[in-house]
């Protein structure tokens, strides 16, 4: 149980275009989902916390107008990278926790490799 | 400011021996710690966790030890298997307003040789 599905697994886009990444909790409800980013050989850095039905909370240094997050339901959160540039190329990973559980671990999707040309 | 640190970028171990991965943290508000395993181009997979009220948690071949006074935790894998070869991330979070926000270490690449 507790499967998080992330789509697409990889995407290549041209500079200036926008890309949407979906994160779904397949067999559980997630009030909160988290979006992380990982650069090569570096740690996972939290970008934002996505709360169902409300605005996302962004970490310091993350542009909210560039990384649009929507959490429209208890099983779906989306991250849209707007006007992508080559420096946005990275590995984006979403995670979710089962609704109502505090000390249960986060479950991660398989990530999306974004390459902006 | 790196609040969770894994100072060993890599570790090489012989199959059957013990693997010990270390992690240090600086934020005394952290009250829950986790270890994740990650393969390239995949998301992290949860391995084992420990609450700050405990000093040891065991699950099969995996044991996590927590030393709160030293702000240090370690993951022991016994016996190590070639399939354990991956990147291991230590992560932590605090309750309250930081609920659910994991802070990750830099990761340690474990290689288990047959």
A106–B45 CB contact, under 8 Å: no
Q: Distance between CA A1 and CA A27 in Å, rounded? A: 6
Q: What is the pLDDT of residue B100?
A: 65
Residues of B in contact with A49 (CB under 8 A): 100-101
Distance, in Å, from the CA atom of B25 to the CA atom of B66, rounded to the nearest integer, reads 11
| CB-defined contacts A:B, below 8 A | 56
Q: How confident is the model at residue B78 (pLDDT cuts 50, 70, 90)?
A: very high
Average pLDDT over residues B108-114: 96
**A22-48: per-residue pLDDT in tens?**
999 998 888 889 999 998 778 889 999
Over range A90-104, report the average pLDDT.
80
Domain positions in chain B are 4-96+103-113
Query: Exposed/middle/buried for A102, CB within 10 Å: 0-12, 13-18, 19+?
Result: exposed
Residue A51, Cα to own-chain centre: how many angstroms? 12
User: With contacts defined as CB-CB under 8 Å, which chain A residues touch B49?
Assistant: 103, 105
- Assign a CATH topology to domain B4-96+103-113: Immunoglobulin-like (2.60.40)
Interface probe for A, chosen from B41, B100, B101, B104 (most Cβ of A below 10 Å), is B100
> What average pLDDT does chain A have?
89
Given an 8 Å threshold on Cβ–Cβ distance, is A97 in contact with B100? yes
Q: Which one, of A116, A99, A98, lies nearest residue A107 by Cα?
A: A98
Contacts of A105 in chain B (CB under 8 A): 34, 46, 49
């Amino acid at each position: 149980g507790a499967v998080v599905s992330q789509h697409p697994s990889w995407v290549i886009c041209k500079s200036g275009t926008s890309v949407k990444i979906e994160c779904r909790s397949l067999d559980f409800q997630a009030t909160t989902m988290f979006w992380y980013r990982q650069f090569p050989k570096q740690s996972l850095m939290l970008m934002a916390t996505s709360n169902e039905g409300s605005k996302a909370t962004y970490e310091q240094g993350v542009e909210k107008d560039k990384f649009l997050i929507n959490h429209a339901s208890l099983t779906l959160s989306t991250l849209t990278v707007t006007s992508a540039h080559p420096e946005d190329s990275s590995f984006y990973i979403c995670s979710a926790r089962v609704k109502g559980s505090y000390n249960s671990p986060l479950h991660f999707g398989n990530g999306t490799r974004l390459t902006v040309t | 400011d790196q609040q969770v640190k894994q100072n060993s970028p890599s570790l090489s171990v012989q199959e059957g021996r013990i693997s010990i991965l270390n992690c240090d943290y600086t934020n005394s508000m952290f009250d829950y710690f986790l270890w994740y395993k990650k393969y390239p181009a995949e998301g992290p997979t949860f391995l084992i966790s420990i609450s700050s009220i405990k000093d040891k948690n065991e699950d099969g071949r995996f044991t996590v030890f927590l030393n709160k006074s030293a702000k240090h935790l370690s993951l022991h894998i016994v016996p190590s298997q070639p399939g354990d070869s991956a990147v291991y991330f230590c992560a932590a979070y605090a309750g309250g307003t930081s609920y659910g926000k994991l802070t990750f270490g830099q990761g340690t690449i474990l290689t288990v040789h047959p």
